[in-house]
Amino acid sequence: MNYNGNIYRPPIEANTLLIPVTEGCTHNKCTFCNMYQNVPFRMWALDEFENYVAEIKSHYCRLADSIDRVYLVGADPFALSAEKLLERISLIKKYLPNVTVITMYARTDNIAHKSDEDLKRLKEAGVNDLYIGVECGLNDVLSDLNKGYSADETKEQCLRLNAVGISHCDLLMLGTAGKGRGLEAAKATAALENEIKPTKILLNTMSAFEGTTLDKDIQDGRFVPATEKEILQEEYAFLQTLELPDTYFWAIHPLDSVGVEGVLKTDKDRMLNKLGRAIETVDNRAYNRVSRRGTL
Protein backbone atom coordinates (compact mmCIF):
# COMPACT_ATOMS: atom_id res chain seq x y z
CA MET A 1 0.00 0.00 0.00
CA ASN A 2 1.33 3.43 -0.96
CA TYR A 3 -0.36 5.65 1.65
CA ASN A 4 0.69 9.28 2.09
CA GLY A 5 0.90 10.27 5.77
CA ASN A 6 0.38 8.43 9.02
CA ILE A 7 -2.58 6.16 9.61
CA TYR A 8 -4.75 7.18 12.57
CA ARG A 9 -7.72 5.40 14.10
CA PRO A 10 -9.60 5.68 17.41
CA PRO A 11 -7.90 3.65 20.16
CA ILE A 12 -10.99 1.51 20.69
CA GLU A 13 -10.82 0.37 17.05
CA ALA A 14 -7.49 -1.37 17.69
CA ASN A 15 -8.83 -4.74 16.56
CA THR A 16 -10.86 -3.46 13.62
CA LEU A 17 -9.73 -4.02 10.02
CA LEU A 18 -8.48 -0.73 8.55
CA ILE A 19 -9.22 0.17 4.93
CA PRO A 20 -7.87 3.44 3.45
CA VAL A 21 -10.30 5.70 1.64
CA THR A 22 -8.82 9.19 1.94
CA GLU A 23 -5.54 10.85 2.86
CA GLY A 24 -5.19 14.11 4.74
CA CYS A 25 -7.99 16.33 6.03
CA THR A 26 -10.42 18.52 4.10
CA HIS A 27 -10.22 21.17 6.86
CA ASN A 28 -6.72 20.80 8.33
CA LYS A 29 -6.95 24.12 10.18
CA CYS A 30 -7.70 23.18 13.81
CA THR A 31 -5.28 25.11 16.02
CA PHE A 32 -4.31 22.11 18.15
CA CYS A 33 -3.82 19.52 15.42
CA ASN A 34 -0.66 18.56 13.54
CA MET A 35 -1.80 15.12 12.41
CA TYR A 36 -2.17 16.01 8.74
CA GLN A 37 0.34 18.80 8.24
CA ASN A 38 1.90 18.64 4.76
CA VAL A 39 -0.53 15.87 3.69
CA PRO A 40 -2.82 17.12 0.88
CA PHE A 41 -6.36 15.78 0.98
CA ARG A 42 -6.89 13.01 -1.55
CA MET A 43 -9.65 10.52 -2.21
CA TRP A 44 -8.42 7.10 -3.29
CA ALA A 45 -9.63 6.24 -6.78
CA LEU A 46 -12.21 3.48 -6.98
CA ASP A 47 -9.88 1.01 -8.73
CA GLU A 48 -7.14 1.76 -6.22
CA PHE A 49 -9.59 1.07 -3.42
CA GLU A 50 -10.83 -2.16 -5.00
CA ASN A 51 -7.31 -3.46 -5.52
CA TYR A 52 -6.59 -2.94 -1.83
CA VAL A 53 -9.75 -4.71 -0.66
CA ALA A 54 -9.09 -7.57 -3.10
CA GLU A 55 -5.61 -7.96 -1.58
CA ILE A 56 -7.20 -8.24 1.86
CA LYS A 57 -9.43 -11.05 0.58
CA SER A 58 -6.43 -12.79 -0.96
CA HIS A 59 -4.33 -12.40 2.19
CA TYR A 60 -6.96 -13.54 4.68
CA CYS A 61 -8.44 -16.27 2.43
CA ARG A 62 -11.23 -18.08 4.30
CA LEU A 63 -10.68 -15.93 7.38
CA ALA A 64 -12.00 -12.98 5.37
CA ASP A 65 -15.49 -14.36 5.90
CA SER A 66 -15.13 -13.79 9.64
CA ILE A 67 -14.55 -10.05 9.26
CA ASP A 68 -17.72 -8.20 10.26
CA ARG A 69 -16.47 -4.69 11.02
CA VAL A 70 -14.17 -2.33 9.11
CA TYR A 71 -12.81 1.14 9.82
CA LEU A 72 -12.33 3.50 6.86
CA VAL A 73 -9.02 5.31 7.26
CA GLY A 74 -8.49 9.04 6.79
CA ALA A 75 -9.45 12.23 8.59
CA ASP A 76 -12.46 12.74 6.33
CA PRO A 77 -13.85 9.63 4.64
CA PHE A 78 -17.34 11.03 5.24
CA ALA A 79 -16.41 13.95 2.99
CA LEU A 80 -17.17 11.61 0.09
CA SER A 81 -20.67 11.86 -1.32
CA ALA A 82 -23.16 9.20 -0.35
CA GLU A 83 -22.84 7.73 -3.85
CA LYS A 84 -19.06 7.42 -3.63
CA LEU A 85 -19.26 5.90 -0.15
CA LEU A 86 -21.90 3.41 -1.29
CA GLU A 87 -19.73 2.40 -4.26
CA ARG A 88 -16.88 1.59 -1.89
CA ILE A 89 -19.12 -0.18 0.58
CA SER A 90 -20.41 -2.36 -2.26
CA LEU A 91 -16.83 -3.37 -3.05
CA ILE A 92 -16.13 -4.12 0.60
CA LYS A 93 -19.10 -6.49 0.69
CA LYS A 94 -18.10 -8.05 -2.61
CA TYR A 95 -14.80 -9.24 -1.12
CA LEU A 96 -15.75 -9.32 2.58
CA PRO A 97 -19.37 -10.50 2.43
CA ASN A 98 -20.03 -10.69 6.16
CA VAL A 99 -19.12 -7.10 7.01
CA THR A 100 -22.10 -5.50 8.77
CA VAL A 101 -20.56 -2.33 10.29
CA ILE A 102 -18.55 0.35 8.47
CA THR A 103 -17.20 3.07 10.74
CA MET A 104 -15.02 6.16 10.19
CA TYR A 105 -14.32 9.75 11.24
CA ALA A 106 -17.03 12.23 10.21
CA ARG A 107 -16.84 16.00 10.47
CA THR A 108 -20.05 17.85 11.34
CA ASP A 109 -20.00 19.78 8.06
CA ASN A 110 -19.64 16.56 6.06
CA ILE A 111 -22.77 15.17 7.72
CA ALA A 112 -24.59 18.41 6.88
CA HIS A 113 -23.77 17.96 3.18
CA LYS A 114 -25.83 14.77 3.06
CA SER A 115 -29.61 14.62 2.82
CA ASP A 116 -31.76 12.60 5.20
CA GLU A 117 -32.26 10.09 2.39
CA ASP A 118 -28.49 9.83 1.95
CA LEU A 119 -28.08 9.07 5.64
CA LYS A 120 -30.81 6.44 5.53
CA ARG A 121 -29.15 4.69 2.59
CA LEU A 122 -25.77 4.75 4.33
CA LYS A 123 -27.33 3.31 7.48
CA GLU A 124 -28.94 0.52 5.47
CA ALA A 125 -25.53 -0.21 3.90
CA GLY A 126 -23.96 -0.66 7.34
CA VAL A 127 -22.52 2.77 8.17
CA ASN A 128 -22.59 3.18 11.94
CA ASP A 129 -20.52 4.34 14.93
CA LEU A 130 -19.29 7.53 13.27
CA TYR A 131 -16.52 9.31 15.18
CA ILE A 132 -17.27 13.03 15.48
CA GLY A 133 -14.87 15.70 16.75
CA VAL A 134 -17.23 17.52 19.10
CA GLU A 135 -14.35 18.80 21.31
CA CYS A 136 -16.38 21.29 23.42
CA GLY A 137 -19.91 22.61 23.87
CA LEU A 138 -18.96 26.31 23.78
CA ASN A 139 -19.31 28.01 20.42
CA ASP A 140 -16.69 30.69 21.07
CA VAL A 141 -14.15 28.04 22.06
CA LEU A 142 -14.78 26.07 18.86
CA SER A 143 -14.34 29.29 16.89
CA ASP A 144 -11.01 29.94 18.62
CA LEU A 145 -9.96 26.36 17.86
CA ASN A 146 -10.90 26.99 14.21
CA LYS A 147 -12.94 23.79 14.05
CA GLY A 148 -14.98 25.03 11.12
CA TYR A 149 -18.35 24.42 12.80
CA SER A 150 -20.19 25.28 15.99
CA ALA A 151 -21.61 23.22 18.84
CA ASP A 152 -25.08 24.17 17.63
CA GLU A 153 -24.31 22.75 14.20
CA THR A 154 -22.93 19.56 15.75
CA LYS A 155 -26.12 19.21 17.77
CA GLU A 156 -28.27 19.57 14.65
CA GLN A 157 -26.29 16.99 12.68
CA CYS A 158 -26.03 14.44 15.49
CA LEU A 159 -29.77 14.60 16.00
CA ARG A 160 -30.15 13.89 12.28
CA LEU A 161 -27.92 10.83 12.69
CA ASN A 162 -29.99 9.69 15.65
CA ALA A 163 -33.18 10.05 13.65
CA VAL A 164 -32.00 7.56 11.02
CA GLY A 165 -30.40 5.21 13.55
CA ILE A 166 -26.70 5.94 12.92
CA SER A 167 -24.82 5.77 16.21
CA HIS A 168 -22.05 8.26 16.89
CA CYS A 169 -19.01 8.23 19.15
CA ASP A 170 -18.11 11.74 20.31
CA LEU A 171 -14.49 12.90 20.61
CA LEU A 172 -14.06 15.54 23.32
CA MET A 173 -11.12 17.57 24.62
CA LEU A 174 -10.48 18.80 28.13
CA GLY A 175 -8.81 22.17 28.59
CA THR A 176 -10.03 23.74 25.34
CA ALA A 177 -11.55 26.78 27.09
CA GLY A 178 -8.31 27.64 28.87
CA LYS A 179 -7.56 28.86 32.36
CA GLY A 180 -10.57 29.76 34.50
CA ARG A 181 -13.26 28.41 32.16
CA GLY A 182 -13.11 24.66 32.72
CA LEU A 183 -16.32 24.38 34.73
CA GLU A 184 -18.18 26.52 32.19
CA ALA A 185 -16.97 24.23 29.41
CA ALA A 186 -17.87 21.12 31.42
CA LYS A 187 -21.45 22.31 31.93
CA ALA A 188 -21.97 23.30 28.29
CA THR A 189 -20.39 20.13 26.90
CA ALA A 190 -22.36 17.85 29.22
CA ALA A 191 -25.58 19.61 28.23
CA LEU A 192 -24.75 19.06 24.57
CA GLU A 193 -23.89 15.39 25.06
CA ASN A 194 -27.02 14.78 27.10
CA GLU A 195 -29.05 16.08 24.15
CA ILE A 196 -27.29 14.29 21.30
CA LYS A 197 -26.88 10.97 23.17
CA PRO A 198 -23.69 9.35 21.85
CA THR A 199 -23.13 5.65 22.34
CA LYS A 200 -19.51 6.36 23.32
CA ILE A 201 -17.62 9.38 24.63
CA LEU A 202 -13.86 9.45 24.04
CA LEU A 203 -12.05 12.09 26.07
CA ASN A 204 -8.50 13.39 25.80
CA THR A 205 -6.66 16.45 27.08
CA MET A 206 -5.66 19.27 24.77
CA SER A 207 -1.91 19.72 24.42
CA ALA A 208 0.05 22.24 22.39
CA PHE A 209 2.36 20.31 20.14
CA GLU A 210 5.33 22.10 18.64
CA GLY A 211 4.54 23.75 15.33
CA THR A 212 0.80 24.13 15.94
CA THR A 213 -1.10 27.40 16.00
CA LEU A 214 -2.07 26.63 19.60
CA ASP A 215 1.57 26.37 20.62
CA LYS A 216 2.28 29.80 19.11
CA ASP A 217 -0.85 31.28 20.72
CA ILE A 218 0.42 30.15 24.12
CA GLN A 219 3.90 31.48 23.52
CA ASP A 220 2.49 34.84 22.41
CA GLY A 221 0.09 35.05 25.37
CA ARG A 222 -3.12 34.81 23.35
CA PHE A 223 -4.16 31.61 25.12
CA VAL A 224 -3.52 30.71 28.77
CA PRO A 225 -3.85 26.97 29.36
CA ALA A 226 -5.70 25.52 32.33
CA THR A 227 -3.71 23.98 35.16
CA GLU A 228 -3.76 20.23 35.63
CA LYS A 229 -6.04 20.60 38.65
CA GLU A 230 -8.47 22.72 36.61
CA ILE A 231 -8.50 20.08 33.88
CA LEU A 232 -9.32 17.34 36.38
CA GLN A 233 -12.02 19.51 37.94
CA GLU A 234 -13.47 20.05 34.45
CA GLU A 235 -13.50 16.31 33.80
CA TYR A 236 -15.11 15.62 37.18
CA ALA A 237 -17.86 18.22 36.61
CA PHE A 238 -18.47 16.98 33.07
CA LEU A 239 -18.74 13.34 34.11
CA GLN A 240 -20.91 14.21 37.11
CA THR A 241 -23.38 16.13 34.90
CA LEU A 242 -23.77 13.43 32.23
CA GLU A 243 -27.17 11.72 32.16
CA LEU A 244 -26.42 8.93 29.70
CA PRO A 245 -26.60 5.65 31.60
CA ASP A 246 -25.93 3.40 28.60
CA THR A 247 -23.02 5.42 27.20
CA TYR A 248 -19.47 4.08 27.36
CA PHE A 249 -17.01 6.66 28.74
CA TRP A 250 -13.37 6.32 27.64
CA ALA A 251 -10.70 8.65 29.07
CA ILE A 252 -7.45 6.69 29.05
CA HIS A 253 -5.66 8.53 26.26
CA PRO A 254 -1.88 8.94 26.82
CA LEU A 255 -2.52 12.70 27.19
CA ASP A 256 -4.90 12.10 30.11
CA SER A 257 -3.10 12.24 33.44
CA VAL A 258 -5.73 10.08 35.19
CA GLY A 259 -7.24 7.19 33.26
CA VAL A 260 -10.88 6.24 33.77
CA GLU A 261 -13.28 4.21 31.64
CA GLY A 262 -16.55 2.39 32.01
CA VAL A 263 -20.28 2.38 31.32
CA LEU A 264 -21.91 5.33 33.04
CA LYS A 265 -24.78 3.31 34.52
CA THR A 266 -22.47 0.99 36.46
CA ASP A 267 -19.09 2.74 36.65
CA LYS A 268 -19.80 6.45 37.04
CA ASP A 269 -19.33 6.59 40.83
CA ARG A 270 -16.09 4.62 40.64
CA MET A 271 -14.71 6.97 37.99
CA LEU A 272 -15.78 10.06 39.94
CA ASN A 273 -14.10 8.73 43.09
CA LYS A 274 -10.85 8.18 41.23
CA LEU A 275 -10.94 11.67 39.74
CA GLY A 276 -11.85 13.16 43.11
CA ARG A 277 -8.80 11.57 44.76
CA ALA A 278 -6.60 12.86 41.95
CA ILE A 279 -7.92 16.41 42.36
CA GLU A 280 -7.00 16.34 46.05
CA THR A 281 -3.44 15.17 45.41
CA VAL A 282 -2.47 16.58 41.99
CA ASP A 283 0.89 18.33 41.73
CA ASN A 284 0.72 20.84 38.89
CA ARG A 285 4.51 20.98 38.74
CA ALA A 286 4.56 17.37 37.51
CA TYR A 287 2.75 18.28 34.28
CA ASN A 288 3.60 20.52 31.36
CA ARG A 289 1.05 20.69 28.56
CA VAL A 290 2.44 23.88 27.03
CA SER A 291 4.47 22.17 24.32
CA ARG A 292 5.00 18.52 23.48
CA ARG A 293 6.50 16.57 20.66
CA GLY A 294 4.45 14.13 18.64
CA THR A 295 0.80 14.17 17.64
CA LEU A 296 -2.64 13.43 19.01
User: To the nearest whole percent, how much of the chain has pLDDT over 90?
Assistant: 86
The DSSP-derived string for the chain is ----S-----GGGTTSEEEE-EES-SS---TT--TTTT---EEPPHHHHHHHHHHHHHHHGGGGGG--EEEEESS-GGGS-HHHHHHHHHHHHHHSTT--EEEEB--HHHHHTS-HHHHHHHHHHTB--EEEEEE-S-HHHHHHTT-SS-HHHHHHHHHHHHHHT--EEEEEEETTT-TT-HHHHHHHHHHHHHHH--SEEEEEE---BTTSHHHHHHHTTS--PPPHHHHHHHHHHHHHH---TT-EEEE--TT-SS-EEEEHHHHHHHHHHHHHHHHHH--GGG---S-BSS--
pLDDT at residue 254 in the model = 87
Mean pLDDT of the chain: 94
Query: pLDDT by residue (tens digit) across 46-56?
Result: 999 999 999 99
Query: pLDDT by residue (tens digit) across 183-238?
Result: 999 999 999 999 999 999 999 999 999 889 999 999 999 999 999 999 999 999 99
Q: At residue 13, does pLDDT exceed 60? A: yes
Select the more confidently predicted residue: 15 or 296: 15
Q: At residue 118, does pLDDT exceed 90? A: yes
Query: pLDDT by residue (tens digit) across 17-30?
Result: 999 999 999 999 99
pLDDT at residue 199 in the model = 98
pLDDT at residue 60 in the model = 85
pLDDT interval class at 282 (50, 70, 90): confident
Mean pLDDT along residues 148-152: 98
pLDDT at residue 291 in the model = 46
pLDDT interval class at 287 (50, 70, 90): low
User: Is pTM beyond 0.85 here?
Assistant: yes
